[in-house]
Structure 1
């Protein structure tokens, strides 16, 4: 997978405020970096689900789908979304309750005006993209 943003992803972000779009591009880059850094994850399939860019571990089956997009309730907020029937957000809360903001059992939310806490976010992404590996062991 290249880092060039595919047309479906670009279309999903069309019309978003520039700062928000830049943050989503940065978050997308972190997802790709995490996958590259961990051979167990393998190549990601980038697609659009429910109008939101999504990353699947189709080749390895190592993890759950990760989606990234604007949060519907706030024009300045965007999120890293995981499947709501996993325990991922609860685990994120245990590790990063002081550092990150959460939406129920499905998302980590970020304000587009703030810098991303890169280390914590990369760890959350890695946990999602290796979720099934943990479940198997």
Structure 2
């Protein structure tokens, strides 16, 4: 069962079990990424509370209350023990926009993910902006084209 969340603790037992299944180092990094997603949602106008659930077995964050954005998922990268990622819907232009804004600050996989290395710090400022763009994707799409907002920061 999905649970709306703004708290630091994982409320959904199924989501908590997935976090517990990660190796300790990746668990710490993924929980920090989760906290950044929740904080960004709380700090971004129009997003509202997020629903935390599992999609494809991955911790996922939905804007069900407002419908403002696309789902954001996080997970370890299979076959890469020190890698983890933030995923967005592959049929959006979000990763394309992220690449335009942050070509050298972030690493990408195709049109669906921002990749991270557990041995390196996360570039928080650009990442917060990318998360905010994902969490407001539908609201912005209704208001104006994505290209009109790629230069704005949260």
Q: Which runs of 5+ in 1 are unaligned?
A: none
Deviation at 1:133, TM superposition (A): 1.1
Deviation at 1:73, TM superposition (A): 3.2
Q: CA RMSD in A?
A: 1.0
Tell me the matched-pair count: 137
Deviation at 1:134, TM superposition (A): 1.1
Q: Which runs of 5+ in 2 are unaligned?
A: 144-154
Query: d(CA) in 2 for partners of 1:73 and 1:86?
Result: 26
What is the aligned partner in structure 2 of residue 100 from structure 1? Answer: 106
Structure 2 length-normalised TM: 0.86
Larger radius of gyration: 2
**1:58-110 per-position Cα deviation (integer Å, ceiling 9, x unaligned):** 01000000001101131110000000000000000001110110000000000
Query: d(CA) in 2 for partners of 1:11 and 1:105?
Result: 28
Structure 1 length-normalised TM: 0.96
Q: Which runs of structure 1 show a deviation greater than 4 angstroms over 4 or more consecutive aligned residues?
A: none
Secondary structure in 2 matching 1:116: coil
